[in-house]
Each structure stands twice: as C-alpha cells, then as structure tokens.
Structure 1
C-alpha cells in the first residue's frame, strides 16, 4: 500500500458508523507529522469484534451506562488491528520502520499513534494470529477472575469470539470438564473436540437439565456468561452449585432488563465482573499478550480456524449488514487492508 499525500495532509479510508444502523467507508485526511514518540502505520488486517461493534451499530443502550457514554455518532468502530510501521518519531525505541505491530486502533487504512500503544509482533506470528491479541487479553482476564482450581467443572455460555478463546484457556487451566453452551451448532463446531469438553447446542435456559444429568446433580463450579444478553445472567446463576461463581464477561447494554436469578442468595452464588482494561493479580496487558502469543507459538492455542471470513474494507457496509442479519454464521471476520491497493477500489 502506498500512502497518498497532499501537502501536509495524508488521505486515509476509515469505516464509520455515521448513525444507528448506518455504515460508510469514508475518505478522510489527517496530518501525518509525527510527535517525538509517535509512529505512522499502514493497516494490514483488522478483526471485527462482532458482539461489541454490532451493539455499537444498533445503538440501543440504557442511559448512564458504559455504552451510552462511549458510543457517540459518528462512531469509529474497531480495536483489533495489525499494521506495518511506515515511519517513526525520533524518540521511538524498540520499533523500526517495516515492523508489524498490534494496536487497539479503529478500522483505518493509515493512522498514527503513540508507540507506547503498539505491541511489536514476533516474526513467527502472522497478522491473522496477532489481530486476536486484544480479545485474548480480555478473555484471559475473565479466566483469571474465576481463580480456577484443578478439577473444577466449568461452563461457557456463548461461543462467539470471546467464548472460543475462553474455552481454549479453560482447557489449558486444568479444569475437569467444560460445558460449551450455544444454540448455534456452527459455533460449537469450531470448538476443538477434546476429552472433557461437552457441546450443548441449546440456550442457557434449556441447559439446566442436561448439566444436572451429566454432573449427577452437582452442577458447575463456575459459569461464564459471555453473551451480553440481559436474560442470560439469571439463567446462568441456576447452572452453578452452592457457592459457585458466575463470571460476567459480556457487558449488557440494557442492565435495566437484567436480573440475577432467584437462587443467588439462597445458594450463596458469587457474580464476578471483569473489564477489559483491567490488570489482574500482577499481570499487565503486555505480559498477557506475550503469554497468549507463546501459547500460539507452542501450538497450545489456535485462532486461525476461527478466521472464517476475509473481506476488503470497501465491502464494510455489506459485511456489517450481513452480520446484523445473522451473526452466528460467521466467527472471525477480517478486513484485509492490503486489498485496497492504495485506495483504488473506492
């Protein structure tokens, strides 16, 4: 990709939600002059965080929530990007021109950012693997929040992007059994078939009888609610044993519709939330990213089969419309920015 410059300005293509339910690919300009610690980047690929981004596109939020405070239109979606470094500021250390970096940047063809926000990708990690770093940290935080013990029995409700990663982390964590719960069989088919993993093609409300049967009435030690759906929390609390833990890794946009369930107090159930920006028990974000990439390099985690769709960014309006219509038919949806050929497609 060759950047197009005019005078002191540089052209870039950006995906933008101009208003609720409306997506455009816009040509914009920005000043490419770099600060002392900034880098100029060209996007290679970016991953759609389907749950979060579609909620931002729908624009249905309770007032006074994280969602209503964050999403203002026009809104620039995306925070999972691998890019090539085109230029560096004079005080940038550890990153050179030509390096590939992961950044939590919106879906943009060219951009600049402070180097402290960029994570240098090792040579043996592909862009299609590295683009998962942000979600890998979010899910790693969720698994850490559960403070799992060897031999525990755990459930995961929602096998989207985060649910797939949580399931892989759980298998590495020494749990005895994992119950993966999702009504979409296409999602369950992407879960690695391994001993101790039970695939339940149903919603959480219907999973109680099956889990009760398979655990001989003991139920689960831990359940992860990754759906963000307000009705699921109450269903999740019924799936754990007394003193069980519910990990909320999906933040509902309408908490006014969310209930705890009728047995939280009587069964002394713990409901534990975790936010993606947190550090936890001494682990910071660079360390969690490095751990994830080490698991990838060792073959102990695998995200490449989760990348089910690749598109040019010029197709963004149609891509988001398709996801709104049926999100369960896709998993990792990537924008390949190298297909733009310097923006000539548009």
Structure 2
C-alpha cells in the first residue's frame, strides 16, 4: 500500500510503498476514502522538518531538554546516535480520515465490513491507503453524511472539546481568536449552541467566511473593529469566553483575550500559541485559563485508545469517541457545515506536490482533502438553487375592487418608510393611512403625528384582524419580512413588503405556503427601479431587442456607518442579500426574463462583489456591488449593449441611447426619481381595482432566489444553477 511520509532530518516528503497493516483484535482495518490535511498542525510539522538543526532545536525546546538529559545519563556519543537515528527516519503524517471497513478484528461487534467510519489519531488515521484503527478511535458515519465531510471528524472533535471546556451557555458572547480550520469549526459550534460569536483573524477572507457561516462580526485583531463589536454585543462588559485557536510566536492573542474578556471570564487554549500571560491583566479580572486536550477525555491514555477500555458515561459524559460521534451527527444534521471549508481536493498520488504548494503559499486553503483510489474523481456538481413554484389553490377567490379610499396600515416606520414611502402616500388622493404599528409606542406616535395616521399601535394582531384594512406595508428589518408577510397574507391582506422578501430558502417557502393556503397572492416587493420614469423612457427609446444583451451595472454602495444594523449578518443577512434584489430585478426587467444562473466572486474580505447573471437567451449581466469606491462618484451606473445599440443610465439623473438614432435625456439637473412614487401608485391601483399586482409573483420569487443563490455561489466558489421547481 501507499503512505505519505516525511524525513524529519532532511524535510523530504514522499509517497512510499509500505507493507499493509494487519487486522488485530480490538480494532478494524479501514481502507481510506478521504483524509484531511490540517493546514495548521501538519504544516507546522512539515515546516519544522525543513529547518536547520539549530532551527529545529529552537522550535522544540522540550525535545532539547530531553536530549540534554540523555547526554547526562548516556553520554554524548550514544545520545547523538540515538537522536540522528530518530531524525533520519520516515515518519507518518495525518490524523483525520473517513474510510470503509475492510476487515473486523476480534472483539468488535458495532461495525461490519463495508461500513463507513470516521477515524482519529496520529498513529491510526494516517494519510495511507489502509489503517488499523482501535475501537475507541473510530465512529460510524451517519446516513446522508458524505465521506469527504466525515473526514473532518477528528478536527471537529478537537473544536468540540474546546467548546466544551469553555462551558458556553445560551445567550453568551464568545471571542474566537484565529479563524483557521479549528477556529472556523469552533465558531460554527458556538453559533449552533446559541452563542454570539466575534472572530479575530488578520486574513479578511477567513473573517468573511466565518461571518457567512454565522459569526456576528469578525475583523483584524490589530484594528478596532473586533473591540467595537465586542463592546456593542456585550454592552461594554466583555465576552464570556475566549477561544485561542491561533498559532505562532506572538503573544498578541493572549493579551487580546485579557483585554476583551469580562470579569471572571474563561480563556480556553485550543491551538498552540504563545502563552506569556500578562499577570496583572489576568489577575485583576480573575480570568479562568483552561486547556483543551485534543479530542477529549481518553486522549493519550493507552488503556482507552489501544486497549478499548471505555470510561463509564455516568462519570465521563463526553469521551474521545463520543465527541467524534457527536460531531459527525451535527454535520449530518446540518448544524455544522464543513463544505465551505474545503478549499481543495487532491488525488492521493499528488500528496507531495500538494504539501509543497501549501508550504510555498501557492495554495491558500483552510482545509485540503486527499481523495484515494476507488473514489471516482467525479466532476464537482454544479451548485443548484431551486426557484420554488408559485402554487395557487384551486378556487382562488376572484380579485374584487375595494372601496375608495384604500385603507393602508404600516408595520414599521423607520428611515426608509418615513423618507421614501409615506411622503408619497400621505398626499395621494384615494388613500387613507389607517394604522401604523411599531415595536415602541413613541415611534408609532411620531409617525401618526407626521403623516396623519388615524391610529397608532404596537398590536400587530389587532391590525391584521381589522377588516377595514385593505393592505399592509411591511417596512421592518430584513429578518422579519418573510414572517410578517406570511401573517398578512393569511389574514387576507394585500402586502407591500420592502426588499428582501426572504433571507433564506425556508423563509421564501413559508411565504409561498401562505399564498397557497390562503389563496391570496397579492404581494408586491419594493423593487422600485423598474418604475423609474427615466429608465422606462430609455428602455422605450432603445426599442425591441432581438439578440442577446450584455449588461454592466456598477453599484458604488460605499461603506456602512459605524453600528449600522445592515452589518449584522448573523441576523439580518449579508448587505447584498438585503439590497441586491433591487439590481437583479432591474436587469431582469430590462431583459424581460428571469436569470437561470448566478456566479458571484468576492474580493478578499468580501468588500467588493461581482455577480454574473445568465439568462435563457444567452444574455449576461454583471452587477458590481462595491464598497471601496470614491464617495463622490455616482451610486448607480448601468450600460446595456445589444443589437448595435447602447443604453446608458447615469444614477437616475441622465440617460441616453446610442444607435441608429441617438437619444439623450434632458441635460437640466433633475432630482433622482428611482420610481417609488410610480411604484406606490401602481400598487394602490391594483388594490383598489382588484387588477393584477404590478410585478408577477413568479418574477418576485425568481429575483429572490437569484439573490439567495449569491451566498451559495460564494460558499462553493462556483456558478449556481437556478432550477425551476416542477
């Protein structure tokens, strides 16, 4: 069989042919399917092997002390021969894999040949085609968990044991320092436990990844961003736990932990970082410093690991093996998502080249997998997001005209509602502002005074149950849109909901389930740009399109203000998830089609985003959503090119069409009209007359699905296909 080995003296890596292990009693023989490279622990070992003898001595003072003791006992010549003999030998690499049981040893009755298992241990879960694994170092893989993902079992156990040592409680806030492989898993496990997580790492790409996977906020530990996030989330008290998942020789993680911990907080060391504790800082807060020992209780105990003697569950609830099984279960149930952590999968035969690329920095990765012979190198499946079908129950009631005036209720009265919607509605004939609902009594009273609402309340149910209310405007924070829309539909109201309609596929499905159940499809999402008079005129001047088009849409979004709720990705979704539907809807309206593919690419840290949309006729649109541009540059510029013509929009102030006949809008300065007034007029008219909604529900769903697909594409690093539900 083949195995990855390294010579610690010379640093040479090789894939050697070595004898296959036998199947001994008390364990199983496992043929590897996938094994995981720990880009922290293993690369540190590989790097040390490439050092000079002096460098090796400096990096391992513990081993130097043992050598000096041996010199004192055995003399220099004997010690030298012993050390050189040990250094100049092949040593194994690897400690986390998934494979298929090939043979079962005596005394094993919990698995059989052919079963899929995850294996642990730096002597038993090696980068090798075959491994003998004792009973307490493997766990069966739950149904539905892919072998490649089960290969994370060991590193997942390390992260899980670290979290257990921190003893988090529901509602806690934790700081994870170091967002490599272990840190990413720690952050996900804490989030799954109901803990708000702040991450610290100098790599902006790792910070962005952690935020996409649930962290409340992440940033460079050298900046003020992490400290500001901790202060906001904890009211200035400091975090309940700090998890040190960083390596290296800097003492910065330990000092940062002391500064951002609350009084009597806990600091858990999971990685291998420098621990020169600043005595005063730790003493004054009486911080509890804890160490997490690898995979959990049983580690380094030969009677547990080799002889298979378990610890009674009544005395030791979470052992090494039980941690392994627990992490696999969490991954199988989707509580932990390891797929976005896989940066590269390499054939096992390419192991040496893969290590070289990692060490040289050519391959930047959080996690790398080796794929073994017998595992087909299937082309990676194209990620897919299903655009749910809009189902209307048979016998849906006919749309009837309402009385005049149309009575409107507002749920939410924040900045957008009071600046962009209510001023248009307050002076519109045929409209009565009936009730405003807010979470605080004072904000409701202010909206009532400014815009003339008949009533102000904090009781949403009373408004939804009021038969005099014809339509409900949902203008709240993003995380509440889908649920409020669902309730209003079930109450039989027409609904105008600001974008986004939903932040997840499940939320979108819930809205559509309400449509089907209530037989009420009266929804409008606040995609106002398609109603902008200047853009509509430019589209008319462009004329009918016959060939595929290319669209470029630059959105100079700018940076968020300090403390903006838009930045709370853990609860309110990403910034693009909240605003991107505007631009996707505009392009789809211009092209008169819904997208069939989405390919997003982000700069490191996710500050700037490029989203390429594909359409059925071959048209493409690139939406550049950037935060790093000049503040004085226009926010939105759009170019559509097709059939020898170009349509250009300059921030809803000027527009032009270049072709056989040139058209340029008035050069006199105009206020930007992004279509809110016309959009509201169309909605009110549809409610009053019983006519169709201004935008078909199918189009709203397609735009929402395309917006959601951006997150899936970023996680997979690949285009996403939008598949219509049958």
Report the TM-score range of the alignment, normalised by the length of the smaller protein. Answer: 0.7 to 0.9
Please tell me whether Structure 1 or Structure 2 has the larger radius of gyration of its CA atoms.
2
C-alpha contact 1:50 1:327 (8 A) present in aligned 2: no
Q: Post-superposition shift, 1:326?
A: 3.0
Q: Post-superposition shift, 1:308?
A: 1.7
User: Matches of residues 197-346 of structure 1 in structure 2 within 5 Å?
Assistant: 197-200=216-219, 202-203=220-221, 209-211=227-229, 213-214=231-232, 215-230=234-249, 231=251, 232-252=253-273, 258-261=275-278, 262-279=280-297, 282-326=317-361, 329-338=364-373
Q: Post-superposition shift, 1:277?
A: 4.3
Aligned to 1:119: 139
C-alpha contact 1:312 1:340 (8 A) present in aligned 2: no
Q: Post-superposition shift, 1:310?
A: 0.2
Between stretches 125-134 and 294-303, larger displacement belongs to: 294-303
Distance in 2, matches of 1:92 and 1:164, equals 34
> What is the SS of the residue equivalent to 2:91?
coil
C-alpha contact 2:241 2:266 (8 A) present in aligned 1: yes
Q: Post-superposition shift, 1:324?
A: 2.0
Aligned to 2:7: 18
Aligned to 1:49: 38
User: Across the two proteins, how many residue pairs are aligned to each other?
Assistant: 321
- For the pair 1:136 / 2:126, whether they are aligned, the reply is no
Superposed CA deviations along residues 143-176 of structure 1, whole A, max 9, x for unmatched, are 111112332221111111111111111112222x
Q: Post-superposition shift, 1:216?
A: 4.7
- For the pair 1:149 / 2:169, whether they are aligned, the reply is yes
C-alpha contact 1:208 1:238 (8 A) present in aligned 2: no
- For the pair 1:193 / 2:212, whether they are aligned, the reply is yes
Between stretches 120-129 and 158-167, larger displacement belongs to: 120-129
> What is the SS of the residue equivalent to 1:263?
helix
Distance in 1, matches of 2:60 and 2:359, equals 20
Superposed CA deviations along residues 198-221 of structure 1, whole A, max 9, x for unmatched, are 121x13575664346534532222
- For the pair 1:180 / 2:199, whether they are aligned, the reply is yes
Aligned to 2:474: none
Q: Post-superposition shift, 1:109?
A: 1.2
Q: Post-superposition shift, 1:305?
A: 1.8
> Kindly tell me: are residues 327 and 219 of structure 1, through their superposed partners in 2, closer, same or farther at Cα, counting changes over 3 Å?
farther
User: Matches of residues 20-169 of structure 1 in structure 2 within 5 Å?
Assistant: 21-30=11-20, 32-59=21-48, 60=56, 61-64=59-62, 74-104=90-120, 105-169=125-189
So what's the TM-score if we normalise by structure 2?
0.41
Distance in 2, matches of 1:43 and 1:164, equals 25
Between stretches 112-121 and 102-111, larger displacement belongs to: 112-121
Note the residue ranges of structure 2 that are not aligned, 5 or more in a row: 49-55, 68-85, 298-314, 377-726
Distance in 1, matches of 2:187 and 2:215, equals 11
> Kindly tell me: are residues 95 and 57 of structure 1, through their superposed partners in 2, closer, same or farther at Cα, counting changes over 3 Å?
same
> What is the SS of the residue equivalent to 2:24?
coil
Distance in 2, matches of 1:116 and 1:284, equals 9
> What is the SS of the residue equivalent to 2:199?
strand
The higher-RCO structure (CA 8 Å, 6+ apart) is 1
Distance in 2, matches of 1:309 and 1:62, equals 30
> Kindly tell me: are residues 38 and 217 of structure 1, through their superposed partners in 2, closer, same or farther at Cα, counting changes over 3 Å?
closer
> Kindly tell me: are residues 299 and 39 of structure 1, through their superposed partners in 2, closer, same or farther at Cα, counting changes over 3 Å?
closer
> What is the SS of the residue equivalent to 2:285?
coil
Superposed CA deviations along residues 229-261 of structure 1, whole A, max 9, x for unmatched, are 342222322221222221111124xx5xx4112
Alignment RMSD, CA only? 2.9
> Kindly tell me: are residues 196 and 233 of structure 1, through their superposed partners in 2, closer, same or farther at Cα, counting changes over 3 Å?
closer
C-alpha contact 2:141 2:328 (8 A) present in aligned 1: no
> Kindly tell me: are residues 170 and 328 of structure 1, through their superposed partners in 2, closer, same or farther at Cα, counting changes over 3 Å?
farther
> Kindly tell me: are residues 316 and 195 of structure 1, through their superposed partners in 2, closer, same or farther at Cα, counting changes over 3 Å?
closer
Note the residue ranges of structure 1 that are not aligned, 5 or more in a row: 1-11, 342-346
> What is the SS of the residue equivalent to 2:209?
coil
Superposed CA deviations along residues 96-153 of structure 1, whole A, max 9, x for unmatched, are 2212221221100123333453322233221112111111111111111111233222
Distance in 2, matches of 1:316 and 1:240, equals 41
Q: Post-superposition shift, 1:53?
A: 0.6
> Kindly tell me: are residues 198 and 77 of structure 1, through their superposed partners in 2, closer, same or farther at Cα, counting changes over 3 Å?
same
Distance in 2, matches of 1:82 and 1:127, equals 6
> What is the SS of the residue equivalent to 2:293?
coil
Distance in 2, matches of 1:307 and 1:78, equals 16
> What is the SS of the residue equivalent to 1:251?
coil
Q: Post-superposition shift, 1:339?
A: 6.4
> Kindly tell me: are residues 174 and 89 of structure 1, through their superposed partners in 2, closer, same or farther at Cα, counting changes over 3 Å?
closer
Between stretches 138-147 and 53-62, larger displacement belongs to: 53-62
> What is the SS of the residue equivalent to 2:255?
helix
C-alpha contact 1:40 1:86 (8 A) present in aligned 2: yes
Distance in 1, matches of 2:374 and 2:268, equals 39
> Kindly tell me: are residues 40 and 333 of structure 1, through their superposed partners in 2, closer, same or farther at Cα, counting changes over 3 Å?
same
> Kindly tell me: are residues 213 and 86 of structure 1, through their superposed partners in 2, closer, same or farther at Cα, counting changes over 3 Å?
closer
C-alpha contact 1:186 1:329 (8 A) present in aligned 2: no
So what's the TM-score if we normalise by structure 1?
0.82
